[in-house]
């Protein structure tokens, strides 16, 4: 009898409240720190520098969101995620936002309870091979062993490519960047396939980077961007507009250095963006100066790209499609009005 009563009480205690959960913004503010799902083993996306501080484009955008929410870019906890656990970490609420060179796909946007904000890098899936193989194209690699992350869209694309070209391959997939890279560098795989950002990153940390070449083949488009949970439009808007203002700041030539003087700009859009119209961001749940804080502490897109992927980094990736629309690229922020 007593046991049964105990069990019922235990059951009632175990049941979490079904009531509507608090908004992500309220949760983040109450916690006082943003929890960002990133990766800490891929230079360019996220990896520690010589001082042990994480650097990379995905890391920068986490910091930018913290700057917008708290006015302090340092209020972030970075949670390392792998390709296999990244979505469940976000679904379960362990992180507030996932910024981890994740490719926007129809299925990921619709079927797993998550949604993408906007693209922060237009990438493409490619193939990295050892220069000594002499391969000029993926089509030269019949019978090759291919390193690929399990559960990545690259895994699906490479299967499609080899099937449609009537070629054979053996996939090697390990859910750990270091282990998979070791397999490639030791020669277990002939090819490493994935987004070119990640391939350049792998190449940059090879013992002799010139021993490896990224093939010209483009297997698939790969728009990379932040993801949040579905059903919280306010939080989705925050992430989306933090990205947009970095585009807009580049377009308006506002940098980390000149953002203070830009607050008194004669351009009405710049003034609005930097907090000149009090109350404009009230519905977003942020302070009027949130965009100012983002640019002041992180910078515009050009500055972020240069530091993490471009000439200021070890990857030296050309901007390619990641130029402003006005320069012939794809970056385009809607007006701040």
Partner 1 sequence: MANRRTQAILAQVLGAVALVAIAILLTTTLIGNLARLNLTTGFEFLWRPAGMKIGESVFPLAPSDSFAWAVVAAILNTIRVAVAGIVLATIIGTAIGIMRLSSNPLLRGVTTVYVEVFRNTPLLLQILFWSAILLKLPAIRQAISLGDWAFLSQRGLQLPSLMLHAGVALWPGAIAAILCGIAAFLLARRRNRAAAIALGVLAAILALLVVWSAQGAVGVERPVRKLFGFTGGFTLTPEFCALLAGLTAYTAAFIAEIVRGGILAIPSGQWEAARSLGLRNGAILRHIVLPQALRVILPAMTSQYVGLVKNSSLAVAIGYPDLFWAISTAINVTGHAVEGVALMMVCYLVLTLGTSGAMNTWYSRMIRRGAR
Interface with partner 1 by CB under 8 A: which residues?
1, 3-4, 7-8, 10-12, 14-16, 18, 21, 83-88, 91, 107, 111-114, 133, 141-145, 150-151, 155-156, 158-160, 163, 169-176, 179-180, 182-183, 186-188, 190, 229-231
Beta carbon of residue 66, minimum distance to partner 1 (angstroms, whole number):
24
Report the 10 Å Cβ neighbour count for 139.
Answer: 13
Residue 213 in contact with residue 129, Cβ under 8 Å?
yes
Burial environment of residue 74 by CB neighbours within 10 A (0 to 12, 13 to 18, 19 or more): exposed
Q: Distance between CA 70 and CA 293 in Å, rounded?
A: 9
Beta carbon of residue 18, minimum distance to partner 1 (angstroms, whole number):
5
Nearer to partner 1, 113 or 278 (CB): 113
Beta carbon of residue 322, minimum distance to partner 1 (angstroms, whole number):
27
Nearer to partner 1, 131 or 179 (CB): 179
Give me the numbers of helices (H) and strands (E) for the chain, helices first please. Answer: 13, 13
Beta carbon of residue 167, minimum distance to partner 1 (angstroms, whole number):
10
Nearer to partner 1, 5 or 337 (CB): 5
Q: What backbone torsions phi and psi does residue 79 show, to the nearest 5 degrees?
A: -105, 120
Nearer to partner 1, 174 or 330 (CB): 174
Nearer to partner 1, 175 or 269 (CB): 175
What is 84-127 written as a DSSP string?
TTHHHHHHTTSSSEE-SSPBP-HHHHHSSSEEE---SEEEEEEE
Beta carbon of residue 229, minimum distance to partner 1 (angstroms, whole number):
7
Three-state DSSP class for 34?
strand
């Amino acid at each position: 009898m007593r046991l049964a009563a105990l069990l019922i009480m235990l059951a009632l205690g175990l049941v979490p409240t079904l009531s509507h959960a608090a908004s992500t913004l309220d949760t983040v503010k109450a916690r006082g720190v943003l929890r960002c799902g990133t990766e800490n083993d891929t230079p360019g996306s996220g990896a520690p520098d010589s001082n042990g501080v994480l650097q990379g484009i995905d890391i920068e955008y986490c910091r930018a969101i913290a700057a917008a929410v708290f006015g302090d870019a340092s209020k972030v906890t970075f949670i390392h995620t792998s390709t296999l656990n990244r979505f469940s970490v976000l679904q379960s609420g362990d992180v507030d936002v996932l910024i981890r060179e994740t490719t926007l796909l129809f299925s990921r946007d619709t079927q797993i309870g998550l949604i993408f904000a906007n693209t922060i890098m237009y990438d493409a899936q490619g193939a990295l091979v050892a220069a000594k193989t002499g391969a000029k194209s993926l089509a030269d690699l019949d019978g090759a062993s291919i390193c690929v992350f399990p559960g990545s869209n690259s895994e699906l694309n490479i299967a499609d490519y080899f099937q449609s070209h009537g070629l054979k391959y053996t996939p090697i997939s390990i859910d750990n960047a270091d282990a998979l890279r070791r397999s490639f560098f030791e020669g277990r795989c002939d090819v490493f396939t994935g987004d070119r950002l990640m391939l350049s990153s792998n190449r940059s940390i090879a013992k002799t980077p010139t021993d490896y070449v990224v093939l010209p083949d483009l297997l698939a488009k790969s728009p990379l961007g932040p993801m949040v949970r579905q059903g919280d439009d306010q939080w989705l808007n925050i992430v989306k507009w933090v990205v947009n203002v970095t585009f807009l700041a580049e377009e308006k030539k506002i940098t980390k250095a000149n953002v203070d003087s830009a607050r008194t700009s004669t351009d009405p859009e710049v003034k609005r963006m930097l907090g000149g119209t009090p109350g404009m961001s009230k519905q977003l749940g942020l302070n009027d100066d949130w965009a100012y804080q983002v640019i002041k502490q992180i910078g515009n897109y050009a500055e972020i790209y240069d530091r993490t992927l471009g000439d200021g980094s070890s990857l030296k990736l050309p901007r390619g499609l990641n130029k402003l629309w006005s320069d012939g690229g794809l970056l385009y922020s809607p007006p701040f009005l």
